[in-house]
């Protein structure tokens, strides 16, 4: 563990341990992947002002996200198929997040179900909702999340239609993997993954299996899922979803000020500036570049978060200094999970916390609440 010092170390180890099909699923973006790359490189353009000779003792990273105390302004983003990066992945990640004092968000497309995760943790987690054509299914999901004690609902707005990822098509991504000669050869070198997967019963979409007539018929499950994303989703839907949920609602995937305004008007308690980690509209700008305009439009009316490309505590500090209430991380925790299971997610969060703490001090601050544009070079 002492040789794992940054998120990149976790990524490299995950690449060695996770079957290629699932590693590629995580570590890819849509089409040319230009937005995927831009999400990370845009952070590098934001420069800090290094300050010296200020008292840096006794520092504080604690914050609040959606009324919840957090040990640092970081949360785990919803990611589909997390239980394919490592057996029982959603449960392990939720436990690591709970231990670290940061929110965990469970995806609709998870392998472990809402109830599996609720049983494994003691504090409420957040649930991410995809709106499917089958509205009874959506209503049932909302009710299940409520019954499981989830404390916030995150409605993803940027996946009415699926962006294309070349790697997934070329790999013939299936859940669980089809045992072709190529996958068998790959699995032969990923014995840790196979061993853990053999010991769990959770090998398909936990939230959905119950809705398909024959859940053991995996091709009908995959077909049902693929045909269910609803291209007709609109702002009107937010009203009934909010009414049914009757609790804190986050809208994820807002990149433009006018959409942020509509989200708030429709009843969002928070918005996440996000381009889905570069997995949807290739050619969209980096999410951190979209943050300032969204903040200007709705920052005084709602909490604004950002995700996409955060790979270090320095990136968290940059986002918070620009005005984000907090950030969500996707791939960094997936790399940790694929590399080392729960311990890997904990290590990911520890690395980010340590980097955030030291960088805050080197900017001359002791409390993350004081981080604002003054710690950034003008024009950053």
Residue 351 touches ligand FNR, criterion: CB under 6 A: no
Three-state DSSP at 71 gives coil
Stretch of 71-79, 166-174, 204-212, 347-355 contacting ligand FNR, by CB under 6 A: 71-79
Q: Is 331 in the site for ligand FNR (CB under 6 A)?
A: yes
The torsion angles phi and psi of 250, rounded to 5 degrees, stand at -110, 135
- Count helices and strands (H / E) in the chain: 16, 10
Closer residue to ligand FNR in complex, CB, 308/336? 308
Site string for ligand FNR, 117-156 (x = CB under 6 A): -----------x---------------------------x
Q: Binding residue per annotation — 164?
A: no
Q: Does 330 bind ligand FNR (CB under 6 A)?
A: yes
Distance, CA of 40 to CA of 47 (rounded, Å): 14
Q: Which stretch binds ligand FNR (CB under 6 A): 56-64, 119-127, 288-296, 301-309?
A: 301-309
Alpha helices in 174-234 (DSSP H): 181-188, 191-198, 218-228
When the beta carbons of 113 and 128 are compared against ligand FNR, the nearer one is 128
Environment class of 293 (CB within 10 Å of its CB; exposed 0-12, middle 13-18, buried 19+): middle
Q: For residues 325 and 304, is the Cβ–Cβ distance under 8 A?
A: yes
- 308 makes contact with ligand FNR (CB under 6 A): yes
Is there a catalytic annotation at residue 276?
yes
Determine if residue 335 is labeled as part of a ligand binding site: no
- Contact, 76 vs 97, CB < 8 A? yes
Per the rule left: phi > 0, alpha: psi between -120 and 50, beta: everything else, 364 is: left
SS3 329: strand
Residues binding ligand FNR (CB under 6 A): 25-26, 39, 77-80, 107, 109, 128, 156, 252, 274, 276-277, 279, 307-310, 329-331, 334
Residue numbering of the annotated binding site for FMN: 78-80, 107, 128, 130, 156, 252, 274, 307-311, 330-331
Residue numbering of the annotated binding site for glyoxylate: 25, 165, 276, 279
Residues classed as catalytic = 276
């Amino acid at each position: 563990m002492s040789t794992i010092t940054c998120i990149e170390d976790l990524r490299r180890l995950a690449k060695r341990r996770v079957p290629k099909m699932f590693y590629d699923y995580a570590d890819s973006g849509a089409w040319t992947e230009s937005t995927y790359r831009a999400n990370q490189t845009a952070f590098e353009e934001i420069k800090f002002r290094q300050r010296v000779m200020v008292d840096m003792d006794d520092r504080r990273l604690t914050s609040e996200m959606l009324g919840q105390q957090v040990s640092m302004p970081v949360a785990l983003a919803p990611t589909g198929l997390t239980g394919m990066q490592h057996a029982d992945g959603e449960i392990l990640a939720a436990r690591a997040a709970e231990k670290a004092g940061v929110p965990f968000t469970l995806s609709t497309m998870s392998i472990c179900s809402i109830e599996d995760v609720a049983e494994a943790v003691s504090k409420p987690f957040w649930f991410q909702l995809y709106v499917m054509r089958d509205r009874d299914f959506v209503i049932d999901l909302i009710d299940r999340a409520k019954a499981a004690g989830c404390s916030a609902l995150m409605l993803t707005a940027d996946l009415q239609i699926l962006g294309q990822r070349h790697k997934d098509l070329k790999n013939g991504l299936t859940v669980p993997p089809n045992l072709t000669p190529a996958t068998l050869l790959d699995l032969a070198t990923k014995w840790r993954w196979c061993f853990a997967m053999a010991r769990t019963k959770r090998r398909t979409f936990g939230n959905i299996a119950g809705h398909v007539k024959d859940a053991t018929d995996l091709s009908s499950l995959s077909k049902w899922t693929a045909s269910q994303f609803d291209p007709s989703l609109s702002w009107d839907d937010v009203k009934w979803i909010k009414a049914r949920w009757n609790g804190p609602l986050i809208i994820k995937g807002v990149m433009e000020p006018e959409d942020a305004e509509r989200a708030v008007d429709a009843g969002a308690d928070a918005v996440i500036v996000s381009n889905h980690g570069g997995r949807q509209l290739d050619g969209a700008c980096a999410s951190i570049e979209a943050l300032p305009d969204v903040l200007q439009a709705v920052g005084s009316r709602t909490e604004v978060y950002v995700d996409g490309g955060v790979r270090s505590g320095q990136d968290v500090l940059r986002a918070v200094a620009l005005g984000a209430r907090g950030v969500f991380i996707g791939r960094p925790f997936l790399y940790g999970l694929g590399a080392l299971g729960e311990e890997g997610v904990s290590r990911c969060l520890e690395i980010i916390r340590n980097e955030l703490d030291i960088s805050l001090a080197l900017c001359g601050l002791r409390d993350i609440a004081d981080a604002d544009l003054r710690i950034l070079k003008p024009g950053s």
